[in-house]
Amino acid sequence: LMRTKIPEGLQRLPGPKPIPIIGNVLEVGRNPHLSLTAMSVRYGPVFQIQIGMRPVVVLSGSNTVRQALIKQGEEFAGRPDLYSFHFINDGKSLAFSSDQAGVWRARRKLALCALRCFSTIEASSSEYSCVLEEHITKEAEYLVTQLSTAMEASGSFDPFRHIVVSVANVICGMCFGRRYSHDDEELLSLVNLSDEFGRVVGSGNPADFIPFLRFLPSCTMKKFMAINDRFNNFVQKIVTEHYSTYDKNNIRDITDSLIDHCEDRKLDENSNDQVSDEKIVGIVNDLFGAGFDTISTALSWSVVYLVAYPEVQEKLHQELRKNVGMDRSPRISDKPNLPFLEAFIMEIFRHSSFLPFTIPHCTTKDTSLNGFFIPKDTCVFVNQWQVNHDPTTWKEPSTFSPERFLDADGMGFNKLEAEKVLVFGLGKRRCIGETIGRTEFFLFLAILLQKMRFHKVPGHLLDMTPEYGLTMKHKRCQLRASLRKREQD
């Protein structure tokens, strides 16, 4: 890029000077969200680093990110062809593969339709507004009994281990029409691999950019391939079962609906067959993966924050007691009456920024941003963590304070302020699970907060330093919980 001719009227991108072969890997270090935020102070909202031999453009600042992902959305909607992405979903991932625009668009539309359709269908009982509410409520209530049982048996529990199974069960229900027991070894060992997965796929993993690192006897890449194999085999087995029991007149779940789409297409002479059956049914693999890792990480962080900020936990419980009561479980329709809970959720998104970068983007043609030239096929990192900690937007950004999302009178939820938080990406590649994600996060938390109180294990230190990755996790820990009584203590 250094030698590329810059079109007249445009400038060359600023950025730190790279050293041969490794580029700026040392400055980027083990916490790219922090090091690249620091660089944005020095070089501005659009700058370039080099990871290995490959130039990467880093975007920060709400205005610049919006300009790129929304106003120039088409030009920034690609995905780079990164080494690790080849192993995800056998190279056929909707989220990570560098499919041509037409193929990606067709698959994204199908995925959106399937999610919308299977979350809004009617529940089995009129107690619930839709099947999504039914699944989430039942799993959350079951999680409460699981945590109580763990407390009785061992006096403490690892929150992530239990939450991840409950959350996986909601998406399993929608995708595969089944749920798993909290002791199911197959599911447990699979969902517990997600930390390892995120570590490799997180923006700035050197092995993605420096070819020779792939051939070092590094365990990480080998482990990564093994994880993807296990994940793919798990889903493949379920898909094969679905093909053998598929009945056009009884579409049971998202997998069936994707199979059905392929069958319909075969009967339609005019259909264009540019997307293979495998790539269509493979969408379910993305939905399952994205559907449990993100939400379980969000919930597990929340429980850790509740323990770290007991006065916030108490205020949240009192809001539920007052506006929902203790005689029934909270519902989606209670949301407008729980402004402090909404504010807490936004502050978890902002403060933890547990998805510090979006999935890497890539330019689809030569373009420019803020007057700087960016050639076609340039890898682009979008620093969500920076946007959520930008001191020009947020007062005391490092302070955890849900109150910042309340109106001046402290009573209502401030929507305008909440819109400044960036967690689901923006524009053409924006998350397709946002509605489900927000609903699930809200309802799980409301039910947990109504029914339980979480505490530290005395003498145990709570370490809130995140471990960097695609989704940043807190360190595994032991916590305690007790059931809330119907009557106020």
Among 52, 198, 202, 433, indicate the residue that binds ligand HEM (CB under 6 A).
433
Q: Per rule CB under 6 A, is residue 294 in the interface with ligand HEM?
A: yes
Among 50, 62, 228, 358, indicate the residue that binds ligand HEM (CB under 6 A).
358
Q: Per rule CB under 6 A, is residue 287 in the interface with ligand HEM?
A: yes
Q: Per rule CB under 6 A, is residue 296 in the interface with ligand HEM?
A: no
# binding residues, ligand HEM (CB under 6 A): 27
What number of other Cβ atoms are within 10 A of residue 352's Cβ?
Answer: 23
Distances (CA, A) of 216 to 176, 207, 212, 219, 285: 38, 10, 7, 9, 30
Nearer to ligand HEM, 145 or 274 (CB): 274
Residues from 371 through 410 that contact ligand HEM (CB under 6 A)? none
Q: Per rule CB under 6 A, is residue 80 in the interface with ligand HEM?
A: no
As measured in angstroms, the least distance from the Cβ of 254 to ligand HEM is 9
Nearer to ligand HEM, 197 or 484 (CB): 197
Nearer to ligand HEM, 72 or 323 (CB): 72
Q: Which stretch binds ligand HEM (CB under 6 A): 137-145, 241-249, 334-342, 434-442?
A: 434-442
107 vs 279: CA distance, rounded Å: 8
Cα atoms found within 13 Å of the Cα of residue 326, Cβ hemisphere only: 11
Distances (CA, A) of 269 to 92, 264, 277, 279, 349: 25, 10, 16, 20, 47
Alpha helices in 121-253 (DSSP H): 131-154, 159-176, 185-191, 194-201, 219-245
As measured in angstroms, the least distance from the Cβ of 266 to ligand HEM is 25
As measured in angstroms, the least distance from the Cβ of 114 to ligand HEM is 9
Nearer to ligand HEM, 45 or 425 (CB): 425
As measured in angstroms, the least distance from the Cβ of 326 to ligand HEM is 28
Q: Per rule CB under 6 A, is residue 437 in the interface with ligand HEM?
A: yes
Q: Per rule CB under 6 A, is residue 291 in the interface with ligand HEM?
A: yes
Residue 106's DSSP bridge partners are none
Angle of the 283-308 helix axis to the 159-176 helix axis, nearest 10: 150
Among 51, 304, 431, 446, indicate the residue that binds ligand HEM (CB under 6 A).
431
Give Cβ neighbours of residue 42 (< 8 Å, ≥ 6 apart). Answer: none
Residues from 408 through 427 that contact ligand HEM (CB under 6 A)? 423-425
Q: Per rule CB under 6 A, is residue 49 in the interface with ligand HEM?
A: no
Considering only CA atoms, which of 113, 90, 255, 282 is closest in space to residue 172? 255
What number of other Cβ atoms are within 10 A of residue 152's Cβ?
Answer: 8
Among 118, 344, 373, 441, indicate the residue that binds ligand HEM (CB under 6 A).
441
Which run of H or E residues covers position 55? strand 54-59
As measured in angstroms, the least distance from the Cβ of 68 to ligand HEM is 10
372 vs 91: CA distance, rounded Å: 33
Residues from 97 through 116 that contact ligand HEM (CB under 6 A)? 108, 111, 115
Give Cβ neighbours of residue 213 (< 8 Å, ≥ 6 apart). Answer: 206, 207
418 vs 406: CA distance, rounded Å: 9
Which residue's Cβ lies closest to ligand HEM? 433
425 vs 305: CA distance, rounded Å: 24
166 vs 172: CA distance, rounded Å: 10
**Residue 477 assigned ligand-binding role:** no
Q: Per rule CB under 6 A, is residue 65 in the interface with ligand HEM?
A: no
Q: Per rule CB under 6 A, is residue 94 in the interface with ligand HEM?
A: yes
Torsion of CA 60, 48, 426, 363, to 10 degrees: 160
As measured in angstroms, the least distance from the Cβ of 140 to ligand HEM is 15
Q: Per rule CB under 6 A, is residue 466 in the interface with ligand HEM?
A: no
Residue where the block lists tokens 């299977």? 118
Nearer to ligand HEM, 12 or 109 (CB): 109
Residues from 155 through 194 that contact ligand HEM (CB under 6 A)? 171
Nearer to ligand HEM, 96 or 340 (CB): 96
Q: Per rule CB under 6 A, is residue 298 in the interface with ligand HEM?
A: yes
DSSP 357-398: B-S-EE-SS-EEETTEEE-TT-EEEEBHHHHHT-TTTSSSTT
59 vs 40: CA distance, rounded Å: 8
What number of other Cβ atoms are within 10 A of residue 285's Cβ?
Answer: 25
Q: Per rule CB under 6 A, is residue 348 in the interface with ligand HEM?
A: no
Nearer to ligand HEM, 116 or 460 (CB): 116
Would you list which residues are annotated within the binding site for heme? 431
Q: List interacting residues with ligand HEM (CB under 6 A).
A: 94-95, 108, 111, 115, 171, 286-287, 290-291, 294-295, 298, 355, 358-359, 423-425, 429-433, 436-437, 441
